[in-house]
Structure 1
Amino acid sequence: MPIIVNLDVVLATRKMRLGELAERTGITVSNLSILKTGKAKAVRFSTLEAICSALDCQPGDLLQYIPEDKSPQ
Protein backbone atom coordinates (compact mmCIF):
# COMPACT_ATOMS: atom_id res chain seq x y z
CA MET A 1 0.00 0.00 0.00
CA PRO A 2 1.46 3.37 -0.96
CA ILE A 3 0.30 5.14 2.24
CA ILE A 4 2.80 4.73 5.08
CA VAL A 5 1.87 5.51 8.69
CA ASN A 6 4.76 7.03 10.63
CA LEU A 7 3.10 6.94 14.03
CA ASP A 8 5.98 4.97 15.54
CA VAL A 9 8.48 7.59 14.34
CA VAL A 10 6.49 10.49 15.79
CA LEU A 11 5.98 8.62 19.06
CA ALA A 12 9.72 7.99 19.30
CA THR A 13 10.60 11.64 18.69
CA ARG A 14 8.11 12.63 21.40
CA LYS A 15 9.46 9.89 23.72
CA MET A 16 5.92 8.61 24.20
CA ARG A 17 4.61 5.07 24.38
CA LEU A 18 1.45 3.83 22.72
CA GLY A 19 -0.26 3.39 26.09
CA GLU A 20 0.29 7.02 27.00
CA LEU A 21 -1.08 8.12 23.63
CA ALA A 22 -4.13 5.93 24.24
CA GLU A 23 -4.72 7.62 27.60
CA ARG A 24 -4.35 11.10 26.11
CA THR A 25 -6.63 10.45 23.13
CA GLY A 26 -9.22 8.01 24.45
CA ILE A 27 -8.39 5.66 21.56
CA THR A 28 -7.74 2.05 22.53
CA VAL A 29 -4.20 0.68 22.39
CA SER A 30 -5.54 -2.00 20.05
CA ASN A 31 -6.82 0.54 17.53
CA LEU A 32 -3.64 2.62 17.76
CA SER A 33 -1.59 -0.53 17.21
CA ILE A 34 -3.56 -1.36 14.05
CA LEU A 35 -2.87 2.13 12.78
CA LYS A 36 0.80 2.02 13.81
CA THR A 37 1.46 -1.26 12.02
CA GLY A 38 -0.17 -0.04 8.80
CA LYS A 39 -3.00 -2.59 8.94
CA ALA A 40 -5.75 0.04 9.10
CA LYS A 41 -7.91 0.35 5.99
CA ALA A 42 -9.24 3.80 6.94
CA VAL A 43 -8.73 6.56 9.49
CA ARG A 44 -11.47 8.84 10.79
CA PHE A 45 -10.69 12.53 10.83
CA SER A 46 -11.66 12.62 14.51
CA THR A 47 -9.03 9.94 15.22
CA LEU A 48 -6.41 11.82 13.23
CA GLU A 49 -7.33 15.05 15.01
CA ALA A 50 -7.01 13.45 18.46
CA ILE A 51 -3.61 11.95 17.62
CA CYS A 52 -2.31 15.20 16.13
CA SER A 53 -3.51 17.13 19.17
CA ALA A 54 -1.88 14.74 21.64
CA LEU A 55 1.40 14.60 19.71
CA ASP A 56 1.40 18.28 18.69
CA CYS A 57 1.96 17.37 15.05
CA GLN A 58 0.39 17.73 11.61
CA PRO A 59 -1.34 14.91 9.66
CA GLY A 60 1.54 15.02 7.19
CA ASP A 61 3.90 14.06 10.01
CA LEU A 62 1.93 10.84 10.48
CA LEU A 63 1.03 9.90 6.90
CA GLN A 64 3.32 9.58 3.90
CA TYR A 65 2.49 8.72 0.29
CA ILE A 66 4.98 6.58 -1.59
CA PRO A 67 3.86 5.73 -5.13
CA GLU A 68 4.02 2.12 -6.17
CA ASP A 69 6.57 1.24 -8.82
CA LYS A 70 4.78 1.57 -12.15
CA SER A 71 7.57 0.25 -14.34
CA PRO A 72 6.65 -2.60 -16.72
CA GLN A 73 7.66 -6.09 -15.65
Structure 2
Amino acid sequence: MAIHFDLKKIMDERGLTPADIMNMTDLSRNTVKALVGGINTRIDFPTLDVLCEKLGVNPGDLIKYVPNEKDASPQE
Protein backbone atom coordinates (compact mmCIF):
# COMPACT_ATOMS: atom_id res chain seq x y z
CA MET A 1 0.00 0.00 0.00
CA ALA A 2 1.35 3.43 -0.89
CA ILE A 3 -0.52 5.31 1.87
CA HIS A 4 0.87 4.88 5.38
CA PHE A 5 -0.71 6.02 8.64
CA ASP A 6 1.98 7.13 11.11
CA LEU A 7 0.05 7.12 14.40
CA LYS A 8 2.43 4.49 15.83
CA LYS A 9 5.44 6.71 15.08
CA ILE A 10 3.86 9.69 16.87
CA MET A 11 2.90 7.47 19.81
CA ASP A 12 6.46 6.14 20.10
CA GLU A 13 7.94 9.65 19.95
CA ARG A 14 5.62 10.80 22.77
CA GLY A 15 5.66 7.63 24.84
CA LEU A 16 1.93 7.04 24.36
CA THR A 17 0.14 3.70 24.48
CA PRO A 18 -2.99 2.63 22.61
CA ALA A 19 -4.87 3.05 25.92
CA ASP A 20 -3.65 6.66 26.11
CA ILE A 21 -5.00 7.32 22.60
CA MET A 22 -8.32 5.69 23.48
CA ASN A 23 -8.63 7.83 26.63
CA MET A 24 -7.62 11.04 24.86
CA THR A 25 -9.91 10.58 21.87
CA ASP A 26 -12.77 8.30 22.97
CA LEU A 27 -12.01 6.14 19.92
CA SER A 28 -12.82 2.45 20.25
CA ARG A 29 -10.16 -0.13 21.03
CA ASN A 30 -10.69 -1.74 17.60
CA THR A 31 -10.25 1.58 15.78
CA VAL A 32 -7.05 2.44 17.62
CA LYS A 33 -5.71 -1.10 17.16
CA ALA A 34 -6.33 -0.93 13.40
CA LEU A 35 -4.73 2.49 13.07
CA VAL A 36 -1.68 1.58 15.15
CA GLY A 37 -1.25 -1.81 13.47
CA GLY A 38 -1.47 -0.41 9.96
CA ILE A 39 -4.32 -2.73 9.03
CA ASN A 40 -6.80 0.02 8.24
CA THR A 41 -7.79 0.68 4.63
CA ARG A 42 -9.64 3.93 5.28
CA ILE A 43 -10.14 6.58 7.94
CA ASP A 44 -13.24 8.64 8.62
CA PHE A 45 -12.85 12.42 8.81
CA PRO A 46 -14.25 12.59 12.38
CA THR A 47 -11.58 10.08 13.47
CA LEU A 48 -8.83 12.02 11.74
CA ASP A 49 -10.20 15.25 13.21
CA VAL A 50 -10.16 14.02 16.81
CA LEU A 51 -6.65 12.57 16.44
CA CYS A 52 -5.34 15.85 15.01
CA GLU A 53 -7.06 17.90 17.71
CA LYS A 54 -5.96 15.80 20.67
CA LEU A 55 -2.41 15.18 19.43
CA GLY A 56 -1.87 18.73 18.14
CA VAL A 57 -0.88 17.57 14.66
CA ASN A 58 -2.00 18.13 11.07
CA PRO A 59 -3.37 15.36 8.80
CA GLY A 60 -0.07 15.37 6.90
CA ASP A 61 1.72 14.42 10.12
CA LEU A 62 -0.37 11.25 10.32
CA ILE A 63 -0.80 10.27 6.67
CA LYS A 64 2.17 9.67 4.36
CA TYR A 65 2.33 8.77 0.68
CA VAL A 66 5.12 6.36 -0.20
CA PRO A 67 5.28 5.35 -3.86
CA ASN A 68 5.27 1.64 -4.59
CA GLU A 69 8.57 0.38 -5.98
CA LYS A 70 6.96 -0.48 -9.33
CA ASP A 71 5.35 3.01 -9.47
CA ALA A 72 8.75 4.66 -8.97
CA SER A 73 10.37 3.02 -12.01
CA PRO A 74 10.77 5.15 -15.14
CA GLN A 75 8.20 4.81 -17.90
CA GLU A 76 9.31 2.99 -21.06
Residue 10 in structure 1 maps to residue 13 in structure 2: no
Residue 38 in structure 1 maps to residue 38 in structure 2: yes
TM-score between both structures, scaled by the size of structure 2:
0.84
Please give the alpha-carbon distance, in whole angstroms, between the structure 2 residues aligned to 1:6 and 1:40. 12
Please give the alpha-carbon distance, in whole angstroms, between the structure 1 residues aligned to 2:59 and 2:69. 24
**In angstroms, what is the RMSD of aligned CA positions?**
1.4
Please give the alpha-carbon distance, in whole angstroms, between the structure 1 residues aligned to 2:20 and 2:35. 15
Q: Which structure dedicates a bigger proportion of its chain to helix?
A: 2
TM-score between both structures, scaled by the size of structure 1:
0.87
Please give the alpha-carbon distance, in whole angstroms, between the structure 2 residues aligned to 1:25 and 1:51. 7
Q: Which runs of 5+ in 1 are unaligned?
A: none
Please give the alpha-carbon distance, in whole angstroms, between the structure 2 residues aligned to 1:24 and 1:34. 17
> 1:2·1:68 contact (CA, 8 Å) conserved in 2?
yes
Please give the alpha-carbon distance, in whole angstroms, between the structure 2 residues aligned to 1:51 and 1:29. 14
Percent identity of equivalent pairs:
29
Q: Which runs of 5+ in 2 are unaligned?
A: none
